[in-house]
Amino acid sequence: MPYHFPQPLHYFVFSPALTKVPICPHPHHHLLFSVFSYLLKRHLFDNVLPDILLYPQVEGSCPLRYRCLSSSPTRVDASWIVFAHYGPVWRQQRKFSHSTLRHFGLGKLSLEPKIIEEFKYVKEEMQKHGAVPFSPFPIVSKAVSNIICSLCFGQRFDYNDTEFKKMLDLMSRALEICLNTQLLLVNICSWLYYLPFGPFKELRQIEKDITTFLKKIIKDHRESLDVENPRDFIDMYLLHMEEERKSNSDSSFNEDYLFYIIGDLFFAGTDTTTNSLLWCLLYMSLNPEVQEKVHEEIERVIGPDRAPSLTDKAQMPYTEATIMEVQRLTVVVPLSIPHMTSETTVLQGYTIPKGTVVLPNLWSVHRDPAIWEEPDEFHPNRFLDDQGQLVKKEAFIPFGIGKRVCMGEQLAKMELFLMFASLIQSFKFALPKDSETPLLTGRYGLTLAPHPFNVIISKR
């Protein structure tokens, strides 16, 4: 069974005041709802699902904290840790995945050297371009992906590795053609996925190639497994799988689930953090005065030569506030992960039937004028108090909240801080002269990615 890319979510709103208004979470289609809007019944992830509702607000009784909204729409042909149905199997798989990733350094200082080491390759690659404009996307993507690879596969790939480059290119292409209008129709008529031409055929071939890549990695690990010295996530999963089989023949731990989990970790972990870093570089290029303030703080706390450390974060509130403001404005996963009610519930007087798919509108939360002053403006200082110290805001939830909060949140925060600080410490970023100002609306697919842009770097 091949790895599948979920299709982008584009729906139509139905409310007393609105009919058939397309929801695409960026400024051109941004809508604020007082409670929620029912959306058209659609085929989602190859299943016919009940009515969908969109909920933008974060309040004391935030619905994402309700246990009854912790489920997820079931997919017939996949067992993803991200999209799997909430229940015993999901809890077992997520608990194991999270504890195993922590064992290999997730959220711990022990992972820091790998991130700093990876930046050396980033710096080397960027310096090759000199004063010539270049796209930072392929370099950043390879670096972020290698951090995931070190956790899951026990190795990093050379930036010129043919197979590695092919997988990242395939992932990028898959996300690109998922934006194709024809492919969006798969959400309505799932059988269109099997059409033998155009983007339908291309996507199936991409998924086939990616499946071959992931299956080969699992096979190589199985054949070289050392019970006494597990190297990475895959080794730990294979060992746990064997232990489970001895005592439970119906265990959910199997190679099919492992296949989908590492696929999720590899692609979701690469795409989201890559886009967050790219947005940071774009906003720094557009706001040189902010970039200089960040650099001044880096110079004051770290200096020009020592590598940044997570222990520096507490002394670098402006750098942290800048990253948070970029995340607020760009919300890489605008509609979060689909939730589904596991039982009928009442929210602000509205009855939400069991089996209703809920899409938390994180974009709306982070652009709500009732919460944020001048919400469409870039102001890192909004996350600082009068003494210049970092202020945590309840409505700042770029990774979601509740039981389905992003499992890679700690890793993403580590990568963002260390990579961003290292980049600004080493280079000054600017847009090429006479180039058009890049659009800030973003390209909405599985995540919100910046439109392609080039930068010019000068060594600090």
Token representation of residue 453: 């842009």
pLDDT in tens, 92-127: 888 888 888 888 777 667 789 999 999 999 999 999
Strand order in the sheet with 357-360: 19-23, 11-14, 37-39, 52-55, 357-360, 339-340
Task: Give 216-247 pLDDT, tens digit per residue.
Answer: 999 999 999 999 999 999 999 999 999 888 88
Please state the residue numbers annotated as binding site for heme.
406
Per residue in 231-247, is it b (16+ CB within 10 Å) or e — as a string?
Answer: ebbbbbbbebbeebeee
Question: Are 72 and 83 contacting, i.e. CB atoms less than 8 angstroms apart?
Answer: yes
pLDDT tens-place string over residues 355-390 = 777 777 888 889 989 999 999 999 999 999 999 999
Residue 428 has pLDDT above 90, yes or no: yes
The amino acid occupying position 61 is S
Give the Cα separation of 201 and 194 in Å (integer): 7
Which residue numbers belong to the known binding site?
406
What would the pLDDT profile of 196-221 be if each residue is shown by its tens digit? 998 889 989 998 998 899 999 999 99
Partnered with residue 366 across adjacent β-strands are none
Backbone dihedral region for residue 402 (phi beyond 0: left; psi -120 to 50: alpha; all else: beta)? left
182's CB contacts (< 8 A; 6+ apart) are: 192, 198, 199, 200
Query: Residue 49 burial (CB < 10 Å; 0-12/13-18/19+)?
Result: middle
Average of per-residue pLDDT across 19-26: 37
- Counting residues of the chain whose pLDDT is more than 90, the rounded percentage is 44
Strand partners, 456: 430
Domains for the chain: give ranges and CATH numbers. 87-331+378-459 (1.10.630.10)
